[in-house]
Each structure stands twice: as structure tokens, then as C-alpha cells.
Amino acid sequence: MKRICFDAIYFEMDMIVKQRLCEELVRLVEAEDHLEFWYLGCHTAVESLSLQIICKLQKTYPAKRIEIVKVADPVKQAQQNCDFNAEFLQAISNEDPDGFPIGLEKREIIAPWIEGKCEAYDNRFSAHHRKVWRWALEQCDILIAYNYD
């Protein structure tokens, strides 16, 4: 079993990169019987495109165990559970708060509570998010990164 995650900061991709991402994902699926694709959200072009490709690969290779895993941040989740608007916002949206399409089959893992200075303050969410992202990276075997310069 291999765990794979994606790292990208850009919202657009050119056709050559899209084709390369597809080829790499097909290569991984053909090489392994069980794959888990870990996401903290689905907001960039790389995450969205990879999710589309993975959904197609699940249908193309039904004998393979290809899973989509959503890594939930315990701090963000606690805040959403307290927010009375969360249900309303999700009801009018075609995505969940982390950008995944509604109805997408995925397994959810809650990251561990990571204690530190930033967790004591409400306005330091991005520092905490980086800790959760680092934890998720440490759990994965393969990182697919897109950095365009």
C-alpha cells in the first residue's frame, strides 16, 4: 500500500503538465494494488485534476483498491461544528467546505491534535494548518508536486 499526496500552489496548469500528471497516476495505479490519495482540501488545479483522474482510474481499474482520503484538521473541524451557518452554507453549495464535490466517496482521517503556541490563539490558523499539512506529508510515501516558475 502506498499513500500519495499532492502539493501545488498554482491554480492553472498547461496541457503538458496535465498529461504528465495523468501518466504518472496511471503508472502508480498499474504498479500498486492498494493506493491512498491524501488531501487536506481540493482547491488548486492540481488537486482538482488529480481527483478527476483518480475517479476515472477507480472505474478503469476496479480490481485495484484506490481510495481518496480527506485529512481533517481537528481545530478547523471543531470550529465548523460550532458554526451554525455551516449546514446552511453546505446546503446551498455543490462542494463541502474543503472543496470536495458533494457525494464523492472518500474516507476521512482526523489529524492528531498538534499542540504548540499557535493553537492558543484564534488568529493563527494558518500556522496550525501548516503543522497538519506537515503531519500528512510525513504519513505519505509519495509526494506529487507541481511548482511552475
Q: Running along the chain, 149 residues long, what does each successive block of 10 average in pLDDT?
A: 85 76 94 95 83 94 95 72 52 61 81 71 65 90 81
Helical axes 74-82 vs 125-139, angle rounded to 10°: 130
Which one-letter amino acid corresponds to residue 72?
A
pLDDT at 72: 86
35, burial (CB in 10 Å: exposed 0-12, middle 13-18, buried 19+):
buried
Whole-number Å distance between alpha carbons of 47 and 38: 10
pLDDT at 140: 95
* Phi, psi values for residue 91, rounded to 5°: -65, -35
The two beta strands, 34-39 and 65-72, are parallel
Strand locations in 48-141, DSSP E?
65-72, 107-110
pTM value surpassing 0.75? yes
Q: What is the DSSP letter of 100?
A: P
